[in-house]
Amino acid sequence: MRVVDAERDDFVFEALGATVRNPQAYSVLGHHSMQPAQKLTLRINGAEHTIEVPPDMPLLWALRDVVGLTGAKYGCGIAQCGACTVHLDGRAIRSCVTPVGTVTDHQITTIEALSQSPVGQKLQRAWLELQVPQCGYCQSGQLMSAAALLASNPSPDVGAIDVAMSGNICRCCTYVRIRAAIQKAAQA
Ligand code: FES
Ligand code: FES
């Protein structure tokens, strides 16, 4: 198991007054688990990955730090920004608040497999043609939410786009281009 920044973890544990520490505990950006690691098999982008992690580890952590798929990003860690969006059986979910132990019976799709679907390809083309990203940090989450929208509603009106994308925050304010790109992809 990977333990990140053990010195900082010791400091945090002391600061919290913790007296018992599970030697298998992991911590990334302050998230701690006291649960023992288990072997879990995840179905990600059509392939199986068996990993050994505490079942309450957020899926985002497992994807990025254990499996090595770093396209989904950490933004807020509390399901408020959408940077960590992936698909669970085709639905857009926030992987930062999804325990990895709850998704073993599901198909997980990440931004790394976006180009494997016709909808994903249309979105990628539209994103490129309209030069949507600015810094880019939020964009994998934006694209995954847009892909889930178009998969369930191939011709969304502006209202449906805004509702579907309302949980994805872009601090560079690329919202107008995102909306236009989704409309362009829907018409392609
Ligand atoms: S990092 Fe998951 S919603 Fe912000
Ligand atoms: S492009 Fe910078 S946060 Fe969205």
Pick from 180, 63, 182: nearest CA to 119: 182
Do the domain assignments include residue 4? no
- What average pLDDT does the chain have? 88
CATH number at residue 71: 3.10.20.30
Same domain, 97 and 70: yes
Q: Which two tokens stand for residue 68?
A: 């090595």
* pTM, 2 dp: 0.84
Q: Minimum-distance ligand to the CA of 98?
A: 1
Distance (Å, whole) CA 117 – CA 144: 12
Instruction: Give the residues surrounding ligand 1 with Cβ less than 6 Å away.
Output: 74-77, 79-84, 94, 96
Residue span of the structural domain in which 63 resides: 36-113
Q: Say how many C-beta atoms besides its own lie within 10 A of residue 59's C-beta.
A: 27
Q: How far is the CA of 94 from the centre of ligand 1 (A)?
A: 6
Do the domain assignments include residue 49? yes
Lowest mean pLDDT, pick from 6-20, 37-51, 118-132, 143-157:
6-20
Same domain, 80 and 121: no
47-67 pLDDT per residue, tens: 999 999 999 999 999 999 999
Residue 15 has pLDDT above 70, yes or no: no
Do the domain assignments include residue 17? no
Same domain, 49 and 91: yes
Q: Say how many C-beta atoms besides its own lie within 10 A of residue 77's C-beta.
A: 19
Same domain, 130 and 87: no
Ligand 2 atom at minimal distance to the Cα of residue 142: 4
Q: How far is the CA of 121 from the centre of ligand 1 (A)?
A: 24
How many structural domains compose the chain?
2
- Give residue 32's pLDDT: 65
Q: Minimum-distance ligand to the CA of 31?
A: 1
Q: How far is the CA of 106 from the centre of ligand 2 (A)?
A: 29
Q: Which of 70, 90, 113 is the last residue of a domain?
A: 113
Go through 131-170 and write b for each residue having 16 or more CB atoms within 10 A of its CB, e for each that does not: ebbeeebbbbbbbbbbbbbbbeeeebeeeebeebbeebbb
Q: Which of 60, 81, 113 is the last residue of a domain?
A: 113
Q: Which of 79, 113, 147 is the last residue of a domain?
A: 113
Instruction: Give the residues surrounding ligand 2 with Cβ less than 6 Å away.
Output: 133-139, 170-172, 174
- Give residue 31's pLDDT: 57
Q: How far is the CA of 32 from the centre of ligand 1 (A)?
A: 17
96-142 pLDDT per residue, tens: 999 999 999 999 999 999 999 999 999 999 999 999 999 999 999 99
Same domain, 127 and 92: no
Same domain, 96 and 147: no
